[in-house]
Amino acid sequence: MKRLTRALITLTAVLACATIAAAQNSRVVGQVMDREGKPWPGITVVIKSDNGRTFTLKTDKDGKFTQIGLASGVYTFTLTSQADGLNFTEPHQISGDETDITINLKEIAAKQGAPTPEQQKAQQDQASKFKDMQTHFLAGRAALDDWDAAHKTLNATPADQRGPIQDKLAADSKTAVAEMQLAEQGVQPKDVKNHAVVWSNLGQAYDRAGQPEEAADAYQKAIDLQPNASFYQSQSTALANVAVAQTDPKIAQQKIADASADCDKAAALDPNPGLATVCWKNLGIVLSNKGDFKDAAPVLLKATQLNAKDAQAWFLLGSAYTGLITPNQQGEKMTYDIPPGTTDAYQKCIDLDPNGPYAAQAKQSLDALTAMAGGDAMSVGLRPKKKK
């Protein structure tokens, strides 16, 4: 039936381009015949006009249906029956006072030709592979969801009790990788969309498993098939994790540059600044967690430039700047070189969300910066306190 629907696309286009007559109060009288040419009762008939108006009917014991009040024009008739596995669509022109329509599934099947045994087997194999692929994909997603749930409890668990949770995280990530790999093997070669979805989920599985290089490669395969802002964002984080694991500074810098380029590409594909802001923040967080504040600061600054109302981005930027503070011993007195913008970043975090999750930490950081200023001691980027 699907092949018939595709064959009638050209007919639909021709009819849609035809001159539409003035609106009339037309009536359609129809009958549905089953695959053996007999009247087919209990079939749902959905009649949809080209302007979206829809009528839903049921065939009677003789397979007949009637609908009044139709304006002249092209209508799509869709026949469905869940019990019989029916889902068939074809267009019809309605005009005049009454239009008679007979949809004989036996004649239609004869015209399009019954599939050969080889074709039937190929269709069955394809359906079986899709079902297997779907089963593995859902199993992989379940493992990823379990990993996420367990990970949420990890930080709230005392260190001496984390062993079982960490074991579960390792098991869930291993299961997710294995299931997504099997799912990818089951996707049909021409099914680009599902290939991209499975590869991106396999990238997530590798992320959970602590395999950032494999994750970045998986995201790249998804991007090659179907460029998507979220794929670029995920790959950026994976590349950042690859960078911080490098011992060669040149390779690390190249990976950071690639991760930054991914954030730019995400921004280009999605005009909403929120996703690109998250991309830059994630990149900054990975670099900061590894103590690379020099590379973290500019990418976090980019996040605040994209979304100046993101309190978390300002707090992270202030933290990165704080990591770049350098002490200077001057006799018995210690002074500190504080990067310009450090206090401003913390203050903006507080102003944007005074009662938010980062405000208290930002206030503590500001107090610490004030103490570092040492009264009249002038530090770069920080004004000395006024004397009373």
Segment 115-146, tens digit of pLDDT:
666 767 777 788 888 889 999 999 999 999 99
The number of beta carbons lying within 10 Å of the beta carbon of residue 115 is: 13
* Backbone region of residue 374 per phi and psi (left: phi > 0; alpha: psi in -120 to 50; beta: other values): left
For residue 386, the model assigns a pLDDT of 40
Contacts of 20 by beta carbon, 8 Å cutoff, 6+ apart: 72, 73
Contacts of 144 by beta carbon, 8 Å cutoff, 6+ apart: 172, 176, 201, 204, 205, 208
Residue 39: DSSP 8-state: B
Q: Hey, where are the domains in the chain?
A: 2-112, 117-209, 308-378
Q: Where is average pLDDT lowest: 8-12, 67-71, 203-207? A: 8-12
Q: Helix axis angle, 273-289 relative to 311-323, nearest 10°?
A: 30
For Cα atoms 371, 375, 378, give the angle at the middle one, nearest 5 degrees.
95
pLDDT band at 4 (very low <50, low <70, confident <90, very high): very low
Burial code (b: 16+ CB inside 10 Å, e: under 16) for 53-83 equals eebebebeeebbbebeebbbbbbebbbebee
Nearest of 82, 107, 96, 97 to residue 31 by alpha carbon:
107
pLDDT in tens, 178-204: 999 999 998 888 889 999 999 999 999
What's the whole-number mean pLDDT along residues 152-157?
89
| Residue of higher predicted confidence among 127 and 99 | 99
Q: Are 24 and 95 in contact (CB under 8 A)?
A: yes
Distance CA 296, CA 243 (A): 12
SS3 382: strand
pLDDT in tens, 9-64: 332 332 233 333 334 478 999 999 998 999 999 999 999 987 778 999 999 999 99
Write down the mean pLDDT value for the chain: 85
SS3 48: strand
pLDDT in tens, 300-354: 999 999 999 999 999 999 999 999 999 888 777 788 899 999 999 999 999 999 9
Q: Are 209 and 173 in contact (CB under 8 A)?
A: yes
Domain 308-378: CATH class, spelled out = mainly alpha
The beta strand positions in the chain, using DSSP E, are: 26-33, 44-49, 54-58, 64-70, 73-81, 86-94, 98-104, 326-330, 333-337
For residue 115, the model assigns a pLDDT of 64
Fold match between domain 2-112 and domain 308-378:
no
Bridge-based pairing of strands 86-94 and 73-81 is: antiparallel
For residue 118, the model assigns a pLDDT of 72
Distance CA 52, CA 116 (A): 38
Tokens 């602590």 correspond to: 210
For residue 363, the model assigns a pLDDT of 94
Residue 158: DSSP 8-state: -
**Residue 295: is its pLDDT beyond 90?**
yes
SS3 25: coil
Distance CA 343, CA 338 (A): 9
Nearest of 380, 298, 310 to residue 348 by alpha carbon:
310
- Classify residue 10 as exposed, middle or buried by CB count within 10 Å of its CB (0-12, 13-18, 19+): exposed
Is it true that domain 2-112 has CATH number 3.40.50.2300? no
Distance CA 205, CA 242 (A): 16
Q: Are 87 and 80 in contact (CB under 8 A)?
A: yes
Residue 72: DSSP 8-state: S
| Residue of higher predicted confidence among 384 and 26 | 26
